[in-house]
Structure 1
Amino acid sequence: MNNTMDNALYIRHLETLLQRYRIASSQFQLDTIVIGAGSLSHYFEDDNAHPFKPFAAAQQWLPFTLPAGSFIVIKQDKPELIWPAQQDFWHMANAIPEGEWQSHWRITPVNDDSWTQSLSSNSAFIGPDAIGSLTHHHGLMTWLNYDRAIKTDYEIACLETANQIAAKGHIAAQQAFLSGASELQTHLAYLDATQQDAISTPYPNIVGINEHAAVLHYEQKSSQRPFRPLTLLVDAGASHHGYASDITRTTTTLNDEFSALLDDMDILQQSIANQAVAGVAFVELHQKTLHGVAHLLKQHDICSLSIEEQLAKQIPHHFYPHGLGHFLGLQVHDVGGRQLDATGTLQNPPAGSPFLRLTRDLVPNMVITVEPGLYFIPMLLEKLKAQQPKHGCNINKIDRLTPYGGIRIEDNIVVDIEGIRNLTRDAFATLS
């Protein structure tokens, strides 16, 4: 994407945000909305700061990463960027990025908080820190979160770039693993290929070999490669202007019964992803995925029960315990997934799937993840055997497959009216 197109997308994005905030201002009878990026925080009893990540509602406004201590001020005219200009000899000064974006903003460098004195009493604040007497306005935030589910063309372009960066990392990680790398070495290969520091990734990389692939949020990275490496699961993304990709790939070293299961899971994943079109209820897609997992369990002689009986006894839930996916954007688990309207009415997930993060019907320009899985998690399998004596599961085969850990395949999808745009598969295709 060239700079001219990038600038045009950003200008339209800015206009959309201004329109959304003007409607919100009218709804809550405000003349000013202030958004804080947040401030540095420190480890307990230490002068070492946590890695800083700007508050998403502030980051949404600008095409570069906001520093700590910056604020966005929205009135009826041109938006204002309050820029922290304090200097000390310990840290690098925050240089204001150059670019066409500046012509659409008032930029106010500040050394203290005296700028807040000009705020009227009819102002609202959203963000992690208070400004004087103004604290986070939860009702306003809820209202704005609802619209964040619909991405602008600029936001989709950022998510596309984040997928392109991450795809390079996933290819490098797979090659490293197949060449003999440990989890840590595979993780480092991913970071090198994406040119990210570990603190710059949108979430801690999950790099699990063998049984570690069955730990859904496995964050350790062993420096010792197992004697018999069977499986690699990498769940990792990249950031671009604050927008995150969230991709998972599973690799196996053998051509055996697990690789056959992996191939069929990939077919199921693509089938479900292609059904994520406007008008579809995401809850129904999740239920179809449970049906698909039940089919795989029967097809691969893991469970002998019929699909209907498996679902009645919630057998698939023990192999696939998480939800199908979630919104994706400035946050990996982006906001508003269960929110049915701007006032905050919620739709809870089905009783059997409490971890499903997205319960809304799909509309164009939502960006979601589609990430079915099938795992051999000892804790859940023991629970299944204890609670369902007539589970119909092939324990011998499960014992053979447990050392492989499990499977997750995750793509990032743009919802459209008659189809979908798979940002992840498109990114891999450009590298093949």
Structure 2
Amino acid sequence: MTVDQYPAKAHALKAAKHLKASGASDDALWYIEAAKTTLWPHSDQTVPLRQHRYFYYLTGYEAPDAIVTYSAKDDKITLYIPEIDDEEVMWSGLPLSPEQIRAVSDVDEIKYMNHLESDLKGKKLISVETYDKRDAVTMSQPLLDALDEARAIKDSHELALMRHASEITDNSHLAVMSALPIEKNEGHIHAEFIYHSIRQGSKNQSYDPICCAGTSAGTLHYVKNDLPLDDKLLVLIDAGAEWKNYASDVTRCFPISGEWTKECRDIYEAVLDIQNHCIEKIKPGVNYEDLHRDAHRILIRHLMRLGIFTNGTEDEIFDSRVSCGFFPHGLGHMLGMDTHDTAGRPNYEDKDPMYRYLRLRRTLEENMVLTVEPGCYFNKYLLDHFIQPEQEKFLDRAVLDKYWKVGGVRIEDDILVTKDGYENFTKMTKDPEEVAKIVKDGIAKGRKHFHCVV
């Protein structure tokens, strides 16, 4: 894809306006370091680079060991890059030249690192963190807050990157769903997603993929990704490709056989109903806490209809918070350079379990990007430790026993808040009939063409 120069200047100016609005002085020089080149212990192999997100926001520069400063008073960004090291060039090739950097970023000035000390002499420095080797730098919470708020609203350049990340992710999810004949365990699903992402140019994932089947899907951030698919009903894959440091985050579920069991279809359609309802309500001015409450109420209605919840009204069940045992996480979160992006204003100390893990607790604004990811899980450990005696009366355990093998269902899309509503970046189907057809078509083709190599 082709995009314009990274708009570092606009990002800095936007953050400076937030900082000024907080009452902070603009006389200090912002100072942020890039990610450092780090070696694995006892090895000459480097740890994979993940660029410092605040540094990238002010530069669009992806290489390590650099420093950026910004003078809000002068509206000037200066990028300091390492001098050319002949030995390093022998091993790794030439780094980007200042001219090449200017082609991809609109920073004002690019200097080599040997100019840094004299340029900083006598300057007051503030940053988003402290630095052990630079005592003059002061950690500034107002600067961190200002950059976080600036990052919350995406510009056209950022949105183009995120749309492309979403396109790669759609294709990779489709590939996973279509290739069950060569996916014999969760690790194969993981490998299939990564393979197709890399084939499309995305060498990094936004986060470690969650690839789980059967009861493993009842664990929210499952990490094993290695158990066999034998005797399991559903696959849940939560995975998103990254494009130029911008994230996507998508979850899909599908039946391993290509046929939905009644119980799996019950839960899948309940979660899909929740998601469709919440997405349709997204627009500027909507408070995300309200959508989160809606999500719980719709889930309660479905579980009452199925007979899992009983002996109470919708309001009584809602007020008891028993639904949090089945839907313990938040409806969604901000999305950007980080998967759980800045400025969501969560409160992990909240005593109310319905809101404790809700990572987005604010009114939506135009050009925010967020996820909508309701779920319903059947995790025996979670329920045994969450359900209190006063909540137990709302459960029919005999009906609940029919649903343990479902494990869990989560459906997640990436949503842009537009002027009048929303744009869904995620195009991968979630219609249960279409999902089943993709799986069955893949199985039919696989019998003829795929040969699994373990």
TM-score range, shorter chain: 0.7 to 0.9
SS at 1:364 equivalent: coil
2:186 equivalent among 183, 186, 211: 183
* Identical amino acids, percent of aligned pairs: 24
Deviation at 1:239, TM superposition (A): 1.1
Change (3 A) 1:43 1:116: same
In the TM superposition, residue 370 of structure 1 has moved relative to its aligned partner by 0.8
Deviation at 1:348, TM superposition (A): 7.1
Tell which deviates more after alignment, 376-385 or 122-131.
122-131
1:244 CA drift (Å) = 0.5
| TM-score, normalised by the number of residues in structure 2 | 0.82
TM-score scaled to structure 1, two decimals?
0.86
1:20 and 2:23 matched: no
The 3 A distance-change label for structure 1 pair 318 and 385 is closer
* Correspondent of 2:69 among 69, 73, 89: 73
Residues 199 and 306 (structure 1), Cα distance of their counterparts in 2 relative to 1, 3 Å cut: farther
SS at match of 2:166: helix
Contact 1:338–1:358 (CA under 8 A) maintained in structure 2: yes
State the partner residue of 1:323.
Answer: 330
What is the aligned partner in structure 1 of residue 176 from structure 2?
A: 173
Moved more, 189-198 or 264-273: 189-198
| Equivalent-residue separation in structure 2 for 1:150 and 1:22 (angstroms) | 13
In structure 1, how many angstroms separate the alpha carbons of the residues matched to 2:249 and 2:203? 15
Q: Which residue of 1 aligns with 2:30?
A: 33
Q: In the alignment, is residue 259 of structure 1 matched against residue 268 of structure 2?
A: no
Q: Distance in 1 between matches of 2:159 and 2:188?
A: 32
SS of aligned partner of 2:139: coil
- The Cα offsets for residues 352-372 of structure 1, whole Å up to 9 and x where unpaired, read as 321111111111111111111
1:285 counterpart = 2:316: no
Structure 2: distance between partners of 1:16 and 1:207: 35
Aligned 8 A contact 2:206 2:241 in 1: yes
**Residues 216 and 329 of structure 1, relative CA distance in 2, 3 Å threshold:** same
Aligned match of 2:143: 140
Contact 1:167 1:428 survives alignment (8 Å): no
State how 1:292-307 maps to structure 2 within 5 Å.
292-304=298-310, 305-307=312-314
Post-superposition offset of 1:419? 1.0
Count of aligned pairs: 415
8 Å CA contact 2:173–2:428 kept in 1: the answer is no
1:99-118 equivalences in 2 (<5 Å): 100-101=103-104, 104-110=107-113, 115-118=116-119
Moved more, 386-395 or 329-338: 386-395
**How many angstroms apart in 2 are the aligned matches of 1:231 and 1:249?**
10
For residue 138 of structure 1, report the CA deviation from its aligned partner: 2.8
Secondary structure of the structure 2 residue equivalent to 1:233 = strand
SS at match of 2:237: strand
After superposition, the Cα gap between the structure-2 partners of 1:270 and 1:395, relative to the gap in structure 1 and judged at 3 Å, is same
Counterpart AA for 2:19: A
Paired with 2:239 and 2:196, the residues of 1 have a C-alpha distance of 12
CA distance in 1: counterparts of 2:202 and 2:384, whole angstroms = 35
- Does structure 1 residue 206 correspond to structure 2 residue 210? yes
Tell me which residue corresponds to 1:391. 393
CA contact (8 A) 2:125 2:138 kept: no
Specify every segment of 5 or more residues in structure 1 that has no aligned partner in the other structure, as ranges.
Answer: 340-345
Cα shift at 1:405: 1.0
Q: Deviations over 1:316-371 (max 9, x none)?
A: 110000111111111111112118xxxxxx89757232111111111111111111
Find the residue that maps to 1:73 and give its secondary structure.
strand
The 1:279–1:316 alpha-carbon spacing in structure 2 relative to 1, beyond 3 Å, is: same
Moved more, 357-366 or 131-140: 131-140
Q: Which residue does the alignment assign to 1:362? A: 364
Residues 30/300 of structure 1: CA separation in 2 closer, same or farther (3 Å cut): same
Is 1:311 aligned with 2:318?
yes
Question: Alignment partner of 2:328: what SS?
Answer: coil
2: CA distance, partners of 1:399 / 1:93: 62
Q: List runs of 5+ in structure 2 lacking aligned partners.
A: 432-437, 439-454
Sort the Cα spacing of 1:28 and 1:315 in 2 relative to 1 into closer, same or farther, 3 A.
Answer: same
The residue aligned with 2:345 is: 338
